[in-house]
Amino acid sequence: MSRAWAAFRAHPYSSNVVGYTALFASADLFQQRVLGGRDASQASAAVDWRQTARVATVGFCFHANFNYQWLRWLERVLPGGGVRAVTGKVVVDQLVATPLTITAFYIGLSLLENKDDLLADWKEKFWTSYKTGVVFWSTMQAVNFSLVPPVARTVFLGGVALVFTIFLCHLRQQKDHKLE
């Protein structure tokens, strides 16, 4: 564990971005294998590695890099771990980062899948994702901003994003039923 911590301190950008991307892609794998809606006859079906690669690409190209820079910026603008700073960071995060990252997820995957209407998934699922995200992320970011050292916040976020990305991947696969 001390080696991993030393790597984070020595190479915070690459450690956080690689860690976040791996966790982001793991969410898609989990969703496919556990929540993918497979019946018993399809349970042994192979993983769609192209789908996981697309999720990893969106995670790496946008989410990991954005979150690394975003968390650094938030810490500079609202330094510290007190109640006022943490509350400010959570509110700004929910108003700015959450809609941006959800949008990047849906539109990024639609772009990588060469869909004709890049906004279709986003239009159908954004509000459900955002409302769920506000509840989930407000709590998780409060923990992140108050307990996790700034050098490890992006990868902590990646671990938490694993759960939320499973939700997004699963929601995105729900093609036949209309959401709010």
Of 55 and 5, more confident: 55
The angle at the Cα of 90, spanning 87 to 93, to the nearest 5 degrees, equals 145
CA-derived radius of gyration, the chain = 17
pLDDT band for position 38 (50/70/90)? very low
Domain ranges of the chain: 2-173
Angle between helix 65-77 and 98-112 (nearest 10): 170
Contact between 54 and 112 under an 8 Å Cβ cutoff? The reply is yes
- Whole-number pLDDT of residue 101: 94
